[in-house]
Amino acid sequence: MIKLKLNGKDHEFDAPGEMPLLWALRDVALLTGTKYGCGMALCGACTVHVDGQPTRSCVTPLAAVAGKQVTTIEAVAGQPAGKAVQEAWRKLDVVQCGYCQSGQIMSATALLAGNRSPSDADIDAAMGGNICRCATYVRIRAAIHEAAQNLA
């Protein structure tokens, strides 16, 4: 049994420790907002927060998060930065196909939780591992700036 805090609540997974966190979230906890993209931590679609840090869940073994706080897209709006990011995403109509957006939002939220006034370079560094095949990068950057203004 692997115990952790999932979206603020105690949770136990009856799953092998080597199971990727992504599959534990999707198939065991039935939280399907976190997406499978590449399976190699290259695209960012599977990004969740582990103890507040953006983490690629497709390559993170479930055992590695035992005793830690895991936050998924389903709960990120409960955080000030997460709420601001999601509101900015809607206001600026960032989403095109939407597949990568949960990972994009999780990375942006982690950035703003630690830096309420990011520069374009800060945003590029934080978001660099998140791929958007629809190329909405300009809107993503604008939404992060909008969310930062709303948090100020």
pTM: 0.95
Percent of the chain with pLDDT over 70: 100
CATH no. of 76-151: 1.10.150.120
Give the closest residue to 130 by CA, choosing from 152, 151, 102, 149. 102
127 has pLDDT over 90:
yes
Cα 88-90-96 angle, rounded to 5 deg: 115
Give the model's pLDDT for residue 64.
Answer: 98
CATH number assigned to the domain with residue range 2-71, chosen from the 4 options 3.40.309.10, 3.40.50.300, 3.40.50.1820, 3.10.20.30: 3.10.20.30
Helix (H) or strand (E) holding 10: strand 9-13
**Domain residue spans of the chain:** 2-71, 76-151
98 has pLDDT over 90:
no
Distance CA 133, CA 93 (A): 16
